[in-house]
Structure 1
Amino acid sequence: MTLPRNAESAPLVRHTLDASLRGLGVGSEVRADIALALGEACANVIQHAAAGREYEVRARMDGARCVVDVIDGGAGDGADGSAAWERVDAPPLAEHGRGLRLMRAFTEGVQIASRAHRNGSIVHFEKSLAT
């Protein structure tokens, strides 16, 4: 999905992916973990990727795993789009900066990478569909 970089897009993409996973018989706890991680990744793009008016979410099934990539067009505070994700040592009770910590706690294979030959970053995570 290609989405506008606004607050209304995050619930839309979370709902769409959740409905798809529910249709495939994925349990509610696994879907909730994916929704939380997706929401954190989308919120970061919406808040920090000032260079792009849109962002992209790609989700696919890879065997017994859901694989998600959130792709932005660039961050306002870093040329390669990764600066907003570099502040990963936020205290547990901090108001901001806990998104990556939450994503790592609820999913597997979290990776943040710069886009090849373009500004921006790719937030990648996976979640086992087994409960």
Structure 2
Amino acid sequence: MSIWWSLHLRRDAASVPLARRLLLGTMETAGVDPDVSYDLSLALSEACANAVEHGGDMASDGASAAYSEAYRVTAYLDGEKCRIEVADSGPGFTRAQPVRPAPSSAENGRGLCLIQELADHVHIGNKPGRRGAVVSFDKILKWKKDAPLVAV
């Protein structure tokens, strides 16, 4: 069994639950274990929130923001694995350092760490040769008993 979909979403907070609900609905229909579905949907929400908040282009003078209006979410359920990619057209990541947890007093900065805890494999980087960040992650799927779309 193989399912994939891709969304081109506005950089607006309302787009985050839309992507999450589509992923949850796809997984429920396929028969993925609810705990795995929840972990992936939470990781997707964090990646989308990062794209909404940080995924815009800065003006060349750096003073004002001329934001790109969209970001892309792609999900693949292929065999026993789900892979999700969230790509934006912002400035990308400026350093190749490992992601570190935010201080406990910080109001944000925990999303990438949370994604790393929820997924089996995570890649955080920039689009090759272009501006923009790409956060991709995958997780081995577990299935409900008698799942309708499990490959036999």
> TM bucket by the smaller chain?
0.7 to 0.9
Question: What is the number of equivalent residue pairs in this alignment?
Answer: 126
Q: Which structure has the bigger radius of gyration?
A: 2
| TM-score of the two chains, using structure 1 as the length reference | 0.88
| TM-score of the two chains, using structure 2 as the length reference | 0.76
Cα deviation, residue 92, structure 1 = 4.6
Partner of 1:54: 70
Cα deviation, residue 113, structure 1 = 1.6
Gaps of at least 5 residues in structure 1 are: 76-80
Larger helix share, 1 or 2: 1
The ranges of structure 1 where at least 4 consecutive aligned residues each deviate by more than 2 angstroms after the TM superposition are 83-89, 91-94
Query: What one-letter code is carried by the residue in structure 2 that aligns with 1:124?
Result: S
In structure 2, what is the Cα distance between the partners aligned to 1:107 and 1:54? 25
CA contact (8 A) 1:88 1:97 kept: no
Query: What one-letter code is carried by the residue in structure 2 that aligns with 1:11?
Result: P
Q: Kindly, what percent of the aligned residue pairs are identical? A: 38
CA contact (8 A) 2:74 2:84 kept: yes
Q: Does 1:90 align with 2:102?
A: yes
Q: Secondary structure at the match of 1:47?
A: helix
When residues 85 and 22 of structure 1 are mapped into structure 2, their CA distance, relative to the original with a 3 A threshold, is farther
Gaps of at least 5 residues in structure 2 are: 1-6, 58-67, 144-152
Aligned CA-pair RMSD: 1.9
